[in-house]
Every structure is written in C-alpha cells, then in structure tokens.
Amino acid sequence: MALSKLLGALAAATVLSSAAFAAGYPERQITMVVPFSAGGPTDTVARLVAEKMSADLGQQVIIENVGGAGGTLGAGRVAKAEPDGYTVLLHHIGMATSATLYRKLAYDTLNAFEYVGLVTEVPMVMVAKKDFPAADFKAFAEYVKANPDKVTMANAGIGAASHLCGMLFQSAIQTQFVTVPYKGTGPAMTDLLGGQVDFMCDQTTNTTSQIKGGTIKAYASTTPERLAIFPDLPTATESGVPALNVSIWHGIYAPKGTPAEATERLSKALQVALADPGIAKAMGDLGTAPSAAADATPAALKAKLESEVAKWKPVIEAAGVYAD
C-alpha cells in the first residue's frame, strides 16, 4: 500500500514536472549545432530555418559551427549534450552514412538522439574550377579517370555529403583520385574558386550563385530529373553515370533523453518555419524546397534515418571505404 502510494506520488510528480516544462519551454536561447563550417550549405539551411523557428519559439535559436571529421564531431557534441531541449543538431545524410563509414564513432547513431523532423532535401551538382579542361560531364569523367594522380577533389571529410558523392563517382568510373578534406564545403568553395583544388560535388545551397556567376563550371546534377534552376545542366544519369543519384536530406535531432514536450515543440516550430513563404522562396532560389509538414515530425525523421542507414550500409561496404 505504502509502495503504491509512493509510486502514485512519483507518477503525479512526473506528470506535473513535464507539464510545467511544456508550459515554460523554451525559456532561453537554443543552440543549433551545425557539424560543418560557417558559410557552407548545411550552415545556410540551418540559418534560414533557425531564424524562422526563433520567431515561433519566442527565443533565439543560435548556430554553433562544429566542423571536422565529416560531421561526426558536431554530432558527437550533441549526443553528449544535456538533454534539456536547449541543444539540437542540424545534420544531413551524413548522419546515416557515417554509421557505417566509421569503424568507431563516439556515439551510437540510432540510439543517441531524439528526433525533431526533416527539413529539406537538397540536390548536388558536380562542379569544377573555372578552367578545368573538360567541356561536358562525359569529358570530365574521362579526364578524371585518365589523370587520377593529377586531379584533386575537395570534400568535407569522411561522412560528408561531398564525400558520399565522390565515393559514388569513384566507384562508377572505377578510379581513385586524391581527396582534400575541409571542415565544410564553404572553405572548400573558396579554394575551388582560387584553383587550389580541381573539383567538388556539393549541394546547390552552396554552388548556385557561383554557377550562375560563371566563377565555377557545372557538369551534372545528381538528381533523377534536371533541376528547375539549371534546365540546361544534364543529370549524371543522362550523362552515363546513373550511380551518381543522391539527394541530401537534412534533419534536426536532440540528445537522447530530451523530453518529448521539447522535441514536439521544436517540431511545431520547424513546421511553422517551413510553411513560411520566405523560406520557400529562399530555398527555391537555391534549388531546393522545404519539407512538407508531415515530414517535419519526429516519427518521419526517425523512419528516414533508420531506412537510410540500412540503404547505404551495403553500398559503403561494397566500396570498402572506412575511417577509424
């Protein structure tokens, strides 16, 4: 009897504290960790969304860039953060690929996080420095295959989207070229513009203005259909490399143990942000679109991460690419 009374009191206290939490949350600013450098494509998406989420939450969502090790340093930081609803992670497909690419990760991908929702899916484009000696994607692929020890490909480290695209490209044309890792493709773009690296595969959220400005060359998109913003740019598939078909989905996570009241509140703010016409316009100009409200939910992101870990595992194992 005494025990059941105690359990009842404990249950009531839990309900009370989570209700009190829900009513007051958020009471201060929220940190959104971006696991890549400032100025790159993941950062661009995060800043767009954070600004609109801040308005709905009534508290600032500030960005903290924790680049390095293909996004796994930033993800690790959030996995170990206090699960209080005040630290979240905006990461992309690399959350799924790094689960297999890394023999040792500081966190257990499928068990270290709570989910907020999907944000957007961003196409990629294979781009090269302005004077790269190839007129189209076919000639580009042939040149890379013929000169693997001469050309260099920038990426954001093992586990990055740019790494995944490069890995698929290497497998498709059966060669191994030199890759140059950065903490994000923002700084990699600076070096591409300066000609210090030769080519890169990156999200349209980072490549669009440079392609439009003619400061880099675009060879192909990684999408099944041509991009509306670049109708003259062929897809890799129509250029004879169907394996280069990848779209970079982004999601928001919280450390395991974050109260559901917080992740649900954040998910609602995400849905409000993604429904904002300003976001649709800004994303549209960068070749992407906000996720639908039904996908900006914890359940949709959980399902996506689980299916993507399973999808990429055999591809990575077949390519035999690993990091320690």
Provide the binding-site residues for ligand ASP, judged by CB under 6 A.
Answer: 36-37, 40-43, 94, 155-156, 160-162, 184-186, 202-203
Q: How far is the CB of 79 from ligand ASP (least distance, A)?
A: 18
Q: How far is the CB of 223 from ligand ASP (least distance, A)?
A: 16
In 51-112 the beta strands, taken as DSSP E runs, fall at 61-65, 87-92
Q: How far is the CB of 201 from ligand ASP (least distance, A)?
A: 8
Q: How far is the CB of 228 from ligand ASP (least distance, A)?
A: 21
Kindly tell me which of 184 and 298 has the beta carbon lying closer to ligand ASP: 184
Question: What's the gap between Cα 65 and its chain centre?
Answer: 13
Kindly tell me which of 107 and 249 has the beta carbon lying closer to ligand ASP: 249
Count CA within 13 A, CB hemisphere, residue 306.
9
Q: How far is the CB of 291 from ligand ASP (least distance, A)?
A: 17
Kindly tell me which of 52 and 250 has the beta carbon lying closer to ligand ASP: 250
Residue pair 33/87 in contact (Cβ under 8 Å)? The answer is: yes
Encoded tokens for 82: 């206090």
Beta partners for 248? 122
Strands 199-203 and 113-129: antiparallel
Kindly tell me which of 156 and 254 has the beta carbon lying closer to ligand ASP: 156
Count other Cβ atoms within 10 Å, centred on residue 182. Answer: 24
Strands 247-255 and 87-92: antiparallel
What's the rounded Cα separation, in Å, for the pair 239 and 237?
5
Residue pair 111/256 in contact (Cβ under 8 Å)? The answer is: yes
Kindly tell me which of 164 and 279 has the beta carbon lying closer to ligand ASP: 164
Q: How far is the CB of 26 from ligand ASP (least distance, A)?
A: 25
Closest to 189 (Cα-Cα) out of 163, 159, 223, 215: 215
Kindly tell me which of 52 and 183 has the beta carbon lying closer to ligand ASP: 183
